[in-house]
Amino acid sequence: MAVREVVKDRILGGSFHDTTNFRNVIFSSILAIYDYYEAFFFPGEPERLVYSLTDFAFRRRLQTQKLNPADNSLTINGLNLPFMSFAIRPGGISQDVDRPSWKNFPLEREGMMDWTLEKKLRLSPLRLEFEATYFTDRTLDMHWAMLSVLWDYTLETLMKPKIEIDGVEFENIAALSINASYNDSYNEQEWLERNKIQAITLDFSLDTFMIKDQNSTFGIPQSVLFNFIHNQNIDNVDFDNPDEVYTAVIDHIHGDVIW
């Protein structure tokens, strides 16, 4: 897969805020979508995917082809069809996830333990809604693309957006839902009519999780001192060696704890 520079801080322009512990699941999800649709529609040609709202798709496509969108003499060759545009639609970030089992108050408040990271992570459902369009000038492309999408939608598509946490790669989860519409209309009617461009609307949503470090009300101690230790007849305990392990067996019949 191609290296996605879109999420680099230098491309995004940095931030006014302290983002040291910010887990950007939005852009990790966008990366996963790039990889998914590249493999699905355009294997080995990631440049045929452009991040743009549909109304600006032609302009963005021409820009990625290093052509001037203001040049009215440009023809369909400048678009180099087929290609697909996608972007988060206005109002497309919310917690309106229609998955009741994903909403878990203890998971949101206290988090879950990840032993690879050796820390707890708090998770909360997040929905990202995208508008997307597949453009081509060939009817056979339209038929192939539409049926391929419908076949793919018969089974739920799961992605694993990857995000780096403390130098370790963490795999999030994301579920894709597609709302496809064949040969849909597009605002650039002159382009469509003159060049016979056809379009399939592929609006989709991605259900995933927000991630937040859980650094409060939790810790992994190196040693534990039990107040009742002397009542259990334990002798010669080395409290200065936290790596030493003591094993206790509970005798439920006699009510004893044997060390």
241/205 same-domain check: no
Q: Give the CATH number of the domain where residue 205 resides.
A: 3.30.2000
57/126 same-domain check: yes
Question: Dihedral of CA 79/82/88/90: which sign?
Answer: positive
Domain span at residue 255? 221-259
Task: Dump the DSSP string for 151-163.
Answer: HHHTS-EEE--EE
Q: What's the total number of domains in the chain?
A: 2
pLDDT at 45: 93
Query: How far, rounded to the nearest angstrom, does the alpha carbon of residue 20 sit from its chain's CA centroid?
Result: 19
Q: Which residues share a beta bridge with 250?
A: 257
Measured between alpha carbons, how far is residue 146 from residues 64, 141, 235, 246 in Å?
A: 25, 8, 74, 63
What is residue 207's three-state secondary structure? strand
pLDDT in tens, the chain (259 residues): 344 544 444 456 677 888 778 889 998 999 999 999 999 999 999 999 999 999 899 888 888 887 766 665 455 667 889 999 999 999 999 998 988 888 888 888 888 888 888 888 999 999 999 999 999 989 999 999 999 999 988 888 999 999 888 888 899 999 999 988 887 655 555 555 566 788 999 999 999 999 998 766 555 544 444 554 555 555 555 555 545 555 666 555 555 666 6
What is residue 76's three-state secondary structure? helix
pLDDT at 228: 47
137/250 same-domain check: no
Domain's final residue, options 214, 232, 248: 214
> CA angle 51-56-57, nearest 5°?
55
pLDDT at 91: 95
Q: Which residues share a beta bridge with 121?
A: 112, 213
53/129 same-domain check: yes
61/182 same-domain check: yes
203/239 same-domain check: no
114/138 same-domain check: yes
Give the orientation angle of helix 139-153 with respect to helix 25-41, to 10 degrees. Answer: 130
- Token duo for residue 110: 């206290």
123/58 same-domain check: yes
115/99 same-domain check: yes
Other Cβ atoms less than 10 A from the Cβ of 93: the count is 13
41/167 same-domain check: yes
Side chain identity, residue 259: W
139/18 same-domain check: yes
Side chain identity, residue 129: E
Q: What CA–CA distance (Å, rounded) separates 28 from 162?
A: 6
12/113 same-domain check: yes
